[in-house]
Structure 1
Amino acid sequence: MNPDFLILCATYFEVSHFLASCPGNSKKITKTGLTIISGRVRNKTYDLIITGPGVFNTAHALTAYLEKSSPALVLQTGIAGVFQQAGHNIGDVAIATREQYIHTGVQAKSIENDPLPFDLIAKKPLTRKGIYLFEQKRVDHFHGVLSFAVKKENINIIKGPFITVSSITSSFKLADQLYQAFSSPVMEAMEGAASSHTAALYNVPVIEIRSASNFAGEKDKSKWDIDHAVKQLGRVLTLISQ
């Protein structure tokens, strides 16, 4: 059976509050150790994969799944670093308008690479710089639905560009450079470009929604608030899945 949603998340803890509210009714482990949880929220069905962190784990998990199933929508989620330059805060929830894997391209003098001389996905020239656009109508729909649903709660719903990194930004100087170079991103994480790329290959729609656990560039983890971010994310995922 193909679910309404395929939820991708790097770790179990990040979706623990969602699963506490919407527990799955079955679980299986793949040959490579992936955990796939299946469940229902009211009249919507979901599969949820704990992919493991990073682009390689995410690409593997989604590829293995899409070879056998065709969800109506892929939902990439998890916690993220929020760019304080954008005026947002820890606990804010953001919907990606685009993703960019910042390591893609030809090394240039600036922090941003020049484009590759070939498409990474045929007839999608933006992939030469690791850029993946989300469908604007879908982004606006989820932004509107969530903003209305949580208007009486302490959850700020925003939208904007995301970047995907393979090393967590650990200085505010670098965070500022990334913000200036990559179209003023609102959040950085480690999986989004991989799920966007893989979903595009299979022609499956995708959206990415994350909750901010820390400011991008903050190395001191005592200043992160992962628990708060996970609670915010759990509430939002429950609303989306209804």
Structure 2
Amino acid sequence: MLLVLTATANEMRAAFPAAPAVGQGGTAGYEIGGRAVLLGVTGVGLLNTALCAGQWLVRPDVDGVVDLGIAGGYDLGGTPMGAICFAGAEVWPEYGLLDAHGAADPMGLGFAQAETGGGKVWNRLELSPERDAERMGLVLGDGWGRATGVTVSGVTGTRERADRLRLSCDGHMENMEGFAAAYAAALRGLPFLEVRTISNLVGSREPGDWNLKGALRSLHGAANTLFAA
């Protein structure tokens, strides 16, 4: 059975409008195309996601993790609003020794977060979305973009910081949960897939650089495609 995560109830409702209502920290069984899944709403942020994923992944019947949601795009030319992206890597740029500009050296403390089958985990997880989608019987849509996710504890509020993160992480989309979900799956040795739709330009507070409703509509289409098989 797949564990399907979103950060908020709104994202879960957008992805699966016919599913039972799920509140923060809650789960619900659901059937999609004849297959049983477990829907879970973690709450926003790394901490909520890690706590919930750690709790739910002790279930012996969970054999894969899917993380769905919206994200900001660092460059709307490459990741336009409404675009659907799947993560080829996740970076947590706040782990490590911080310098005066808030950039972190992940090895500066000398402690890796963990060691998995892929080696030591510092602040970056390389993912295998095509392979893991196939393992879980999921369909990646034509035209979906492969992107590096940057997971932050606080939403980037300036273009200057957005540019620093984009360059230092080789990042394409910003979120607040992806690294935690991917890390939890890696510790269990489970296949993992993260799919997000672009809702805004990272660092901008201008209304014209945001389209949450459009991103949620795209999320519904993404979920339909994923489970088409």
User: Which TM-score band (shorter chain)?
Assistant: 0.7 to 0.9
Distance change >3 Å, CA 43–CA 55, structure 1 → 2: same
| Aligned 8 A contact 2:86 2:129 in 1 | no
- Partner Cα separation in structure 1 for residue 22 and residue 76 of structure 2: 42
User: 1:219 corresponds to which residue?
Assistant: 205
Alignment of 1:1-242 (within 5 A): 3=1, 5-20=2-17, 22-24=18-20, 34-84=25-75, 87-108=78-99, 112-116=103-107, 117-122=110-115, 126-128=120-122, 130-135=123-128, 137-138=130-131, 145-148=139-142, 156-183=143-170, 185-221=171-207, 223-242=209-228
| Aligned 8 A contact 1:161 1:187 in 2 | yes
| Aligned 8 A contact 1:96 1:139 in 2 | no
1:78 alignment partner, SS class: strand
Distance change >3 Å, CA 206–CA 145, structure 1 → 2: closer
Distance change >3 Å, CA 140–CA 67, structure 1 → 2: closer
Structure 1: tracts of 5 or more residues without a match: 149-155
Per the TM alignment, residue 138 of structure 1 is displaced from its structure 2 partner at its CA by: 2.3
Per the TM alignment, residue 120 of structure 1 is displaced from its structure 2 partner at its CA by: 0.9
Q: Which amino acid aligns with 1:64?
A: Q
Q: Deviations over 1:107-166 (max 9, x none)?
A: 2466542233122112565522x1111125426869x94333xxxxxxx51112111001
- Partner Cα separation in structure 1 for residue 115 and residue 79 of structure 2: 36
Structure 2: tracts of 5 or more residues without a match: none
Per the TM alignment, residue 216 of structure 1 is displaced from its structure 2 partner at its CA by: 0.8
Per the TM alignment, residue 6 of structure 1 is displaced from its structure 2 partner at its CA by: 1.0
Distance change >3 Å, CA 139–CA 212, structure 1 → 2: farther
Given the two structures, how large is their TM-score scaled by the length of structure 2? 0.87
- Partner Cα separation in structure 2 for residue 84 and residue 59 of structure 1: 28
- Partner Cα separation in structure 2 for residue 110 and residue 6 of structure 1: 37
Percent sequence identity over aligned pairs: 24
Superposition CA RMSD, Å: 2.5
Q: Deviations over 1:9-54 (max 9, x none)?
A: 110111222222x424xx787xxx6221211112222111110000
| Aligned 8 A contact 2:9 2:22 in 1 | no
- Partner Cα separation in structure 1 for residue 12 and residue 59 of structure 2: 24
Given the two structures, how large is their TM-score scaled by the length of structure 1? 0.83
| Aligned 8 A contact 2:76 2:201 in 1 | no
| Aligned 8 A contact 1:79 1:230 in 2 | yes
- Partner Cα separation in structure 2 for residue 217 and residue 205 of structure 1: 32
